[in-house]
Amino acid sequence: MKHFSVSLGNITVAATDTDSDLIRKADNYLPAALEKVGEATAKEAWDTIQRSFRDSTLSVTFSSSEKDKFIRETTREFVRDATSETRDNLRNQIVDQLKKDRDDKKRSMPL
C-alpha cells in the first residue's frame, strides 16, 4: 500500500485542546483529507499507466485534459467508495498528528 502525506496546515491546534476537540477537528477535516489522498492516489495511478504504455510496444499519447479528467474522476470515485475502515484509519492518523502538534505546543509553553 502506498503512503501519502496529507498536510494539516490549515487546522489550528491549541495547547489546551482536549482529545475530544481534536477528534472533532479531525472529523471536520476528513472530507478534505479524503480528497487529497484520492488525488494523490489518482496521480500515482496515472503515472503507473503512463509507464506501462511507455514500456509496451503500443504508441499511445494522452492530452493534459485527459489526464486532468482521469485524476478528477478517480479522485471522486476514491472519496465516494472509501470504506469505513479507510475513513477510520485516515481519521485516526489525523487525530494522532493533531495530538503530536498539541503536545509539541504544550512542551514549548513557558512554565
Q: How does DSSP assign 18-61, residue by residue?
A: -HHHHHHHHHHHHHHHHHHHHHHHHHHHHHHHHHHHHTSS----
Taking the domains of the chain in order of start, what are their residue ranges? 19-103
Q: What distance in Å separates the CA atoms of residue 91 and residue 103, rounded to the nearest whole number?
A: 18
Stretch 39-67: mean pLDDT, rounded? 85
Banded pLDDT at 110 (limits 50, 70, 90): confident
Question: Percent of the chain at pLDDT above 70?
Answer: 91
What pTM was estimated for this model as a whole?
0.81
